[in-house]
Protein backbone atom coordinates (compact mmCIF):
# COMPACT_ATOMS: atom_id res chain seq x y z
CA UNK A 1 0.00 0.00 0.00
CA UNK A 2 1.17 3.51 -0.79
CA UNK A 3 1.33 6.03 2.02
CA UNK A 4 1.10 9.80 1.63
CA UNK A 5 2.38 11.99 4.46
CA UNK A 6 2.90 15.43 2.91
CA UNK A 7 0.47 18.05 4.26
CA UNK A 8 -0.47 21.35 2.69
CA UNK A 9 -1.56 24.11 5.09
CA UNK A 10 -4.49 26.31 4.16
CA UNK A 11 -6.97 28.66 5.84
CA UNK A 12 -10.50 27.45 6.53
CA UNK A 13 -12.73 27.42 3.48
CA UNK A 14 -15.59 25.39 2.08
CA UNK A 15 -15.52 22.77 -0.64
CA UNK A 16 -18.45 21.87 -2.84
CA UNK A 17 -18.11 18.48 -4.48
CA UNK A 18 -19.40 18.12 -8.04
CA UNK A 19 -19.43 14.67 -9.60
CA UNK A 20 -19.20 14.18 -13.34
CA UNK A 21 -22.09 12.27 -14.84
CA UNK A 22 -21.58 10.17 -17.93
CA UNK A 23 -24.27 10.38 -20.56
CA UNK A 24 -26.46 7.31 -21.03
CA UNK A 25 -29.97 6.61 -22.15
CA UNK A 26 -32.88 5.98 -19.76
CA UNK A 27 -31.22 3.97 -17.00
CA UNK A 28 -29.24 5.64 -14.25
CA UNK A 29 -26.83 4.08 -11.81
CA UNK A 30 -24.49 4.97 -8.96
CA UNK A 31 -21.60 3.05 -7.43
CA UNK A 32 -20.38 4.32 -4.06
CA UNK A 33 -17.82 3.37 -1.43
CA UNK A 34 -19.98 1.94 1.34
CA UNK A 35 -17.58 3.15 4.05
CA UNK A 36 -17.20 6.82 3.09
CA UNK A 37 -20.18 7.31 0.77
CA UNK A 38 -17.89 8.62 -1.98
CA UNK A 39 -19.24 8.29 -5.50
CA UNK A 40 -16.85 6.10 -7.49
CA UNK A 41 -18.64 6.31 -10.83
CA UNK A 42 -22.12 6.33 -12.33
CA UNK A 43 -24.49 7.75 -14.92
CA UNK A 44 -27.22 10.36 -14.33
CA UNK A 45 -26.52 9.84 -10.64
CA UNK A 46 -28.50 12.87 -9.41
CA UNK A 47 -31.41 12.64 -11.85
CA UNK A 48 -34.75 12.31 -10.07
CA UNK A 49 -36.59 9.10 -10.89
CA UNK A 50 -39.19 6.81 -9.32
CA UNK A 51 -37.44 4.15 -7.25
CA UNK A 52 -40.37 1.79 -6.59
CA UNK A 53 -39.82 -0.58 -3.63
CA UNK A 54 -36.27 0.64 -2.91
CA UNK A 55 -38.32 3.09 -0.84
CA UNK A 56 -38.78 0.29 1.68
CA UNK A 57 -35.15 0.49 2.80
CA UNK A 58 -35.92 3.92 4.26
CA UNK A 59 -39.29 2.72 5.58
CA UNK A 60 -37.54 -0.11 7.42
CA UNK A 61 -34.96 2.19 8.97
CA UNK A 62 -37.58 4.67 10.20
CA UNK A 63 -39.67 1.86 11.68
CA UNK A 64 -36.66 0.27 13.41
CA UNK A 65 -35.56 3.55 14.95
CA UNK A 66 -39.02 4.39 16.31
CA UNK A 67 -40.28 1.04 17.62
CA UNK A 68 -39.34 -2.01 19.66
CA UNK A 69 -39.14 -5.17 17.56
CA UNK A 70 -41.43 -6.98 20.00
CA UNK A 71 -44.25 -4.43 19.68
CA UNK A 72 -47.46 -5.83 18.21
CA UNK A 73 -49.30 -4.05 15.42
CA UNK A 74 -53.00 -4.59 14.83
CA UNK A 75 -53.48 -4.74 11.07
CA UNK A 76 -56.02 -2.27 9.72
CA UNK A 77 -58.36 -2.96 6.85
CA UNK A 78 -56.56 -0.34 4.77
CA UNK A 79 -53.21 -2.01 5.35
CA UNK A 80 -54.54 -5.47 4.51
CA UNK A 81 -56.04 -4.19 1.25
CA UNK A 82 -52.89 -2.39 0.11
CA UNK A 83 -52.28 -2.53 -3.64
CA UNK A 84 -49.38 -4.55 -5.03
CA UNK A 85 -47.05 -7.14 -3.50
CA UNK A 86 -48.28 -8.62 -0.25
CA UNK A 87 -47.48 -10.92 2.66
CA UNK A 88 -51.25 -11.55 2.98
CA UNK A 89 -51.98 -9.78 6.24
CA UNK A 90 -55.55 -10.01 7.53
CA UNK A 91 -57.57 -7.17 9.10
CA UNK A 92 -57.52 -7.37 12.87
CA UNK A 93 -54.61 -9.81 13.22
CA UNK A 94 -51.67 -8.81 15.40
CA UNK A 95 -48.15 -9.05 14.05
CA UNK A 96 -44.87 -7.92 15.62
CA UNK A 97 -42.79 -5.10 14.21
CA UNK A 98 -40.00 -7.62 13.65
CA UNK A 99 -42.12 -9.92 11.48
CA UNK A 100 -43.48 -6.97 9.50
CA UNK A 101 -39.92 -5.83 8.81
CA UNK A 102 -38.96 -9.25 7.46
CA UNK A 103 -42.07 -9.25 5.29
CA UNK A 104 -41.18 -5.75 4.11
CA UNK A 105 -37.54 -6.40 3.23
CA UNK A 106 -37.63 -10.03 2.06
CA UNK A 107 -41.01 -10.18 0.31
CA UNK A 108 -41.53 -6.46 -0.35
CA UNK A 109 -44.98 -6.53 1.25
CA UNK A 110 -46.87 -3.31 0.61
CA UNK A 111 -49.31 -4.34 3.33
CA UNK A 112 -46.38 -4.61 5.76
CA UNK A 113 -45.19 -1.16 4.69
CA UNK A 114 -48.65 0.31 5.26
CA UNK A 115 -49.01 -1.34 8.69
CA UNK A 116 -45.58 -0.13 9.82
CA UNK A 117 -46.34 3.39 8.60
CA UNK A 118 -49.69 3.59 10.36
CA UNK A 119 -48.23 2.28 13.61
CA UNK A 120 -45.13 4.50 13.53
CA UNK A 121 -46.41 7.73 12.02
CA UNK A 122 -50.09 7.59 12.94
CA UNK A 123 -50.99 7.78 9.25
CA UNK A 124 -49.39 7.37 5.84
CA UNK A 125 -48.96 11.13 5.61
CA UNK A 126 -47.43 11.31 9.08
CA UNK A 127 -44.97 8.55 8.27
CA UNK A 128 -44.02 10.20 4.97
CA UNK A 129 -43.20 13.32 6.98
CA UNK A 130 -40.82 11.25 9.12
CA UNK A 131 -39.20 9.82 6.00
CA UNK A 132 -38.71 13.24 4.44
CA UNK A 133 -37.39 14.76 7.65
CA UNK A 134 -34.70 12.08 7.90
CA UNK A 135 -33.86 12.48 4.21
CA UNK A 136 -33.28 16.20 4.78
CA UNK A 137 -31.08 15.51 7.81
CA UNK A 138 -28.83 13.33 5.67
CA UNK A 139 -28.73 15.75 2.75
CA UNK A 140 -30.70 13.57 0.34
CA UNK A 141 -31.70 16.63 -1.64
CA UNK A 142 -33.13 14.81 -4.66
CA UNK A 143 -35.44 12.63 -2.58
CA UNK A 144 -39.09 13.10 -1.66
CA UNK A 145 -41.49 10.48 -0.29
CA UNK A 146 -45.29 10.37 -0.38
CA UNK A 147 -45.79 6.79 0.83
CA UNK A 148 -43.89 3.94 2.56
CA UNK A 149 -44.01 1.36 -0.25
CA UNK A 150 -42.88 3.13 -3.41
CA UNK A 151 -46.21 2.86 -5.25
CA UNK A 152 -46.16 5.42 -8.02
CA UNK A 153 -46.84 9.04 -7.27
CA UNK A 154 -45.53 11.81 -9.52
CA UNK A 155 -43.90 13.48 -6.50
CA UNK A 156 -42.38 10.31 -5.02
CA UNK A 157 -38.84 10.50 -6.42
CA UNK A 158 -35.20 9.96 -5.61
CA UNK A 159 -31.93 9.48 -7.50
CA UNK A 160 -29.46 6.64 -7.91
CA UNK A 161 -26.95 8.49 -5.72
CA UNK A 162 -29.43 9.31 -2.95
CA UNK A 163 -30.77 5.75 -2.95
CA UNK A 164 -27.25 4.34 -2.62
CA UNK A 165 -26.74 6.64 0.36
CA UNK A 166 -29.99 5.36 1.89
CA UNK A 167 -28.65 1.82 1.86
CA UNK A 168 -25.28 2.94 3.22
CA UNK A 169 -26.97 4.81 6.10
CA UNK A 170 -29.39 1.97 6.83
CA UNK A 171 -26.61 -0.63 6.92
CA UNK A 172 -25.04 1.21 9.85
CA UNK A 173 -28.03 -0.01 11.88
CA UNK A 174 -27.38 -3.56 13.13
CA UNK A 175 -31.06 -4.57 13.07
CA UNK A 176 -31.52 -3.39 9.49
CA UNK A 177 -28.32 -5.16 8.45
CA UNK A 178 -29.46 -8.44 10.01
CA UNK A 179 -32.94 -8.33 8.48
CA UNK A 180 -31.92 -7.17 5.00
CA UNK A 181 -29.13 -9.77 4.85
CA UNK A 182 -31.44 -12.67 5.73
CA UNK A 183 -32.10 -15.14 2.92
CA UNK A 184 -34.90 -17.21 4.50
CA UNK A 185 -37.26 -16.39 7.36
CA UNK A 186 -40.05 -18.48 8.90
CA UNK A 187 -43.14 -16.37 9.52
CA UNK A 188 -44.57 -17.02 13.00
CA UNK A 189 -48.01 -15.66 12.13
CA UNK A 190 -48.26 -17.67 8.90
CA UNK A 191 -47.75 -21.10 10.47
CA UNK A 192 -44.05 -21.18 9.78
CA UNK A 193 -44.30 -20.38 6.07
CA UNK A 194 -40.78 -19.59 4.81
CA UNK A 195 -40.23 -16.23 3.16
CA UNK A 196 -37.28 -16.19 0.77
CA UNK A 197 -35.49 -12.95 0.02
CA UNK A 198 -36.38 -11.74 -3.47
CA UNK A 199 -32.86 -10.37 -3.97
CA UNK A 200 -31.38 -13.32 -5.84
CA UNK A 201 -27.75 -12.09 -5.70
CA UNK A 202 -27.75 -12.78 -1.96
CA UNK A 203 -28.12 -16.45 -2.81
CA UNK A 204 -25.19 -16.44 -5.24
CA UNK A 205 -21.47 -16.43 -4.47
CA UNK A 206 -20.90 -12.89 -5.77
CA UNK A 207 -20.23 -10.98 -2.54
CA UNK A 208 -23.76 -9.55 -2.21
CA UNK A 209 -24.77 -9.32 1.46
CA UNK A 210 -27.79 -7.01 1.47
CA UNK A 211 -30.09 -4.98 -0.73
CA UNK A 212 -33.58 -4.49 -2.10
CA UNK A 213 -35.50 -5.15 -5.30
CA UNK A 214 -38.18 -2.97 -6.85
CA UNK A 215 -40.55 -2.68 -9.79
CA UNK A 216 -43.46 -0.62 -11.02
CA UNK A 217 -44.62 -0.07 -14.58
CA UNK A 218 -43.48 3.55 -14.40
CA UNK A 219 -40.17 3.00 -12.58
CA UNK A 220 -39.23 -0.20 -14.36
CA UNK A 221 -36.81 -2.50 -12.56
CA UNK A 222 -34.91 -0.94 -9.66
CA UNK A 223 -32.21 -2.64 -7.59
CA UNK A 224 -29.89 -1.80 -4.70
CA UNK A 225 -27.07 -4.14 -3.63
CA UNK A 226 -24.44 -3.97 -0.91
CA UNK A 227 -21.32 -5.96 -1.86
CA UNK A 228 -18.32 -6.99 0.25
CA UNK A 229 -15.06 -8.56 -0.87
CA UNK A 230 -12.12 -8.72 1.53
CA UNK A 231 -11.89 -5.18 2.96
CA UNK A 232 -13.76 -3.53 0.11
CA UNK A 233 -17.40 -2.57 0.53
CA UNK A 234 -19.39 -1.10 -2.32
CA UNK A 235 -23.02 -0.21 -3.01
CA UNK A 236 -24.58 -0.39 -6.46
CA UNK A 237 -27.95 1.13 -7.37
CA UNK A 238 -29.61 0.92 -10.78
CA UNK A 239 -32.87 2.60 -11.76
CA UNK A 240 -34.86 1.55 -14.84
CA UNK A 241 -32.28 -1.09 -15.79
CA UNK A 242 -33.79 -4.24 -17.30
CA UNK A 243 -30.59 -6.29 -17.01
CA UNK A 244 -30.00 -5.30 -13.41
CA UNK A 245 -28.72 -8.60 -11.97
CA UNK A 246 -25.87 -8.84 -14.45
CA UNK A 247 -25.15 -5.11 -14.36
CA UNK A 248 -24.77 -5.18 -10.58
CA UNK A 249 -22.32 -8.06 -10.69
CA UNK A 250 -20.33 -6.37 -13.44
CA UNK A 251 -20.14 -3.02 -11.66
CA UNK A 252 -19.11 -4.62 -8.36
CA UNK A 253 -16.44 -6.66 -10.14
CA UNK A 254 -15.14 -3.49 -11.77
CA UNK A 255 -14.58 -1.95 -8.34
CA UNK A 256 -13.01 -5.10 -6.91
CA UNK A 257 -10.59 -5.37 -9.85
CA UNK A 258 -9.71 -1.69 -10.32
CA UNK A 259 -9.84 -0.21 -6.79
CA UNK A 260 -7.84 -0.89 -3.64
CA UNK A 261 -7.79 0.53 -0.15
CA UNK A 262 -4.84 2.92 0.02
CA UNK A 263 -3.43 4.18 3.31
CA UNK A 264 -3.17 7.92 2.78
CA UNK A 265 -1.68 8.68 6.20
CA UNK A 266 -0.74 6.52 9.15
CA UNK A 267 -1.90 7.08 12.71
CA UNK A 268 0.41 9.47 14.55
CA UNK A 269 1.66 13.05 14.78
CA UNK A 270 2.45 15.33 11.83
CA UNK A 271 4.17 18.72 11.76
CA UNK A 272 1.69 21.48 10.90
CA UNK A 273 3.62 24.69 11.65
CA UNK A 274 7.02 25.59 13.09
CA UNK A 275 5.81 24.91 16.61
CA UNK A 276 2.63 22.91 16.19
CA UNK A 277 1.80 19.31 15.33
CA UNK A 278 -1.48 17.56 14.62
CA UNK A 279 -2.44 14.07 15.71
CA UNK A 280 -4.26 11.53 13.56
CA UNK A 281 -5.95 9.13 15.95
CA UNK A 282 -6.44 6.48 13.28
CA UNK A 283 -5.04 5.87 9.79
CA UNK A 284 -6.77 7.36 6.76
CA UNK A 285 -7.51 4.66 4.18
CA UNK A 286 -9.61 5.30 1.08
CA UNK A 287 -10.84 3.15 -1.79
CA UNK A 288 -9.02 4.42 -4.90
CA UNK A 289 -8.03 3.38 -8.39
CA UNK A 290 -4.45 3.78 -9.64
CA UNK A 291 -5.10 7.05 -11.49
CA UNK A 292 -6.67 8.61 -8.41
CA UNK A 293 -3.70 7.61 -6.26
CA UNK A 294 -1.41 9.79 -8.37
CA UNK A 295 -3.54 12.92 -7.91
CA UNK A 296 -4.09 12.98 -4.15
CA UNK A 297 -3.09 15.79 -1.82
CA UNK A 298 -3.42 16.10 1.94
CA UNK A 299 -4.54 19.60 2.97
CA UNK A 300 -4.72 20.80 6.57
CA UNK A 301 -7.08 23.71 7.31
CA UNK A 302 -6.17 25.35 10.60
CA UNK A 303 -8.63 27.18 12.79
CA UNK A 304 -8.08 30.95 12.79
CA UNK A 305 -6.71 30.85 16.33
CA UNK A 306 -4.30 28.11 15.20
CA UNK A 307 -4.19 26.69 18.72
CA UNK A 308 -7.29 24.55 18.84
CA UNK A 309 -7.90 22.19 15.93
CA UNK A 310 -7.58 21.62 12.25
CA UNK A 311 -9.49 19.80 9.52
CA UNK A 312 -7.47 17.28 7.53
CA UNK A 313 -8.78 17.00 3.97
CA UNK A 314 -7.81 14.44 1.35
CA UNK A 315 -8.12 16.25 -1.98
CA UNK A 316 -8.70 14.76 -5.42
CA UNK A 317 -8.98 17.08 -8.43
CA UNK A 318 -9.40 20.06 -6.07
CA UNK A 319 -12.29 18.38 -4.28
CA UNK A 320 -12.38 17.08 -0.74
CA UNK A 321 -13.15 13.35 -0.80
CA UNK A 322 -12.47 12.76 2.89
CA UNK A 323 -12.11 14.97 5.95
CA UNK A 324 -11.49 14.50 9.66
CA UNK A 325 -10.91 16.79 12.62
CA UNK A 326 -7.44 16.74 14.16
CA UNK A 327 -6.21 18.29 17.42
CA UNK A 328 -3.26 20.68 17.49
CA UNK A 329 -0.46 20.18 19.98
Residue 308: per-residue pLDDT: 74
* Residue 272 binned pLDDT confidence (cut-offs 50, 70, 90): confident
* Each residue's pLDDT tens digit, 30-44: 999 999 999 999 999
186 appears as a binding residue in the annotation = no
State pLDDT tens for residues 164-189: 999 999 999 999 999 999 999 999 99
Mean model confidence pLDDT for the chain: 91
φ, ψ for residue 312, nearest 5 deg: -90, 115
- Catalytic residue (one of 28, 43, 53, 159): 53
Q: Choose, from 82, 108, 158, 240, the residue flagged as catalytic.
A: 108
- Give pLDDT tens digits for 249-258: 999 999 999 9
Backbone CA torsion sign across 324, 293, 170, 156: positive
Lowest mean pLDDT among 88-97, 126-135, 152-161, 301-310: 301-310
276 is catalytic: no
282 included as an active-site residue: no
Closest CA to 311 of 272, 254, 283, 262: 272
pLDDT at 20 over 90: no
What domains can you pick out in the chain, each with its CATH number? 28-260 (3.40.710.10), 266-328 (no CATH)
Amino acid sequence: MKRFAKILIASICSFIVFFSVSQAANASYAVIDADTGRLLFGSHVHEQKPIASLTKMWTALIAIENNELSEEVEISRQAALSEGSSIYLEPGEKVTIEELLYGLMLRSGNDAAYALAEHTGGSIEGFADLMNEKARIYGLNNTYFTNPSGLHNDLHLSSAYDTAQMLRIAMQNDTFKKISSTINYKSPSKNGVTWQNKHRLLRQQVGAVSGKTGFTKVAGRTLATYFEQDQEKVIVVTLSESNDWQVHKSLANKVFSEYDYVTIADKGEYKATEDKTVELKKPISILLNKEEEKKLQNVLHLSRKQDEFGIWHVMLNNESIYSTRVDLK
